[in-house]
Every structure is written in structure tokens, then in C-alpha cells.
């Protein structure tokens, strides 16, 4: 999948529309959150806007309220997943930063101790 992928052939748009199954753990009018299929921590949830934006920067410009909703969804997910010890929010932005799906998404990672730098 390339950075030029549009909504019509976007994997995460298909999760929003229900055309592709996902283990959805949280939903709002503007966001959907589902478990990552290749989890990197005991809790690894992706929170995405319902609208298609290629990355978090484009989302922040196009729908700043929805960008804020991602953080509130992360707060709710951390609570429901029992991540009181702490959790990590990640936006890989651009291929060099390991973005592989070009529909904006926030990784919510928790349930284990984290290290730094992230690699
Ligand atoms: P990125 O590398 O773009 O920041 O993160 C994309 C994430 O999407 C990866 O962690 C990958 O495991 C996850 N992913 C890719 N395809 C699917 C899918 O079809 N279903 C789910 N649940 N996760 C996916
Ligand atoms: Zn999309």
C-alpha cells in the first residue's frame, strides 16, 4: 500500500465500513478502535478516524476536533483495558517512520513495561 492510497482502496476505510472484519473495542461518532492483528504488547489497539486522512498531520489540519477525539478514545480504552500503570500512544507518520497503512491511526500500547528509545 502506498502513500497515494485513497479511500476507495484503503484497508482501514474498509474496517470503518464493515467490509473487513476487525475486533472493535471502542467506537464514537468520529472514531473506531480495534485490536492490531500483529500485537506488539498485551494491549495493542489502533484508534482511527472514520474519515480518510493519510496520516495524523493531515487529520490535524482537516479535522482537528477528530484528532482530539482519538486521544479521548485512547483514555477510554486505557481505562477499559486496565492500563493504569501507563500506556504509550504512537503515530508513525511517513514510510521512514514505519507507517505502513496510509489512513491516520494512533497505536495504543500497554500491559507491559516500555523501553526507550523505541527503535
Ligand atoms: P503502521 O506501521 O502503519 O504504523 O501500523 C499499521 C498497523 O496496522 C500494524 O501494526 C499492523 O499490524 C496493523 N494492521 C495491518 N493490517 C491490519 C488488518 O487488516 N487488521 C488489523 N486489525 N490490523 C492491521
Ligand atoms: Zn482510509
User: How far is Cα of residue 102 from the mean position of the Cα atoms in its chain?
Assistant: 11
The CATH T-level fold of domain 7-110 is HIT family, subunit A (3.30.428)
Spatial separation of the C-alpha atoms in residues 91 and 17, rounded to whole Å: 22
| Stated pTM of the model | 0.95
Q: Is residue 26 flagged as an active site residue?
A: no
Q: Given this model, what pLDDT does residue 24 score?
A: 98
Cα–ligand 2 centroid distance for 16 (angstroms): 8
| CB-based pocket (< 6 A), ligand 1 | 11, 22, 34-38, 46, 92, 98-101
| Residue ranges, the chain, pLDDT below 50 | 1-4
Q: Given this model, what pLDDT does residue 36 score?
A: 98
Q: Given this model, what pLDDT does residue 7 score?
A: 82
Minimal CA–CA distance to 77: which of 30, 102, 39, 44? 44
**Residue boundaries of the structural domains of the chain:** 7-110
Cα–ligand 1 centroid distance for 63 (angstroms): 22
Amino acid at each position: 500500500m502506498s502513500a497515494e492510497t485513497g479511500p476507495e482502496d484503503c484497508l482501514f476505510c474498509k474496517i470503518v465500513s464493515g467490509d473487513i472484519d476487525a475486533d472493535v473495542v471502542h467506537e464514537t461518532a468520529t472514531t473506531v478502535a480495534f485490536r492490531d492483528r500483529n500485537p506488539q504488547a498485551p494491549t495493542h489497539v489502533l484508534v482511527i478516524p472514520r474519515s480518510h486522512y493519510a496520516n495524523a498531520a493531515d487529520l490535524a489540519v482537516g479535522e482537528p476536533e477528530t484528532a482530539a477525539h482519538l486521544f479521548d478514545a485512547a483514555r477510554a480504552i486505557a481505562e477499559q483495558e486496565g492500563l493504569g500503570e501507563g500506556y504509550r500512544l504512537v503515530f508513525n507518520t511517513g514510510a521512514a517512520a514505519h507507517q505502513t497503512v496510509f489512513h491516520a491511526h494512533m497505536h495504543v500500547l500497554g500491559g507491559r513495561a516500555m523501553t526507550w528509545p523505541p527503535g
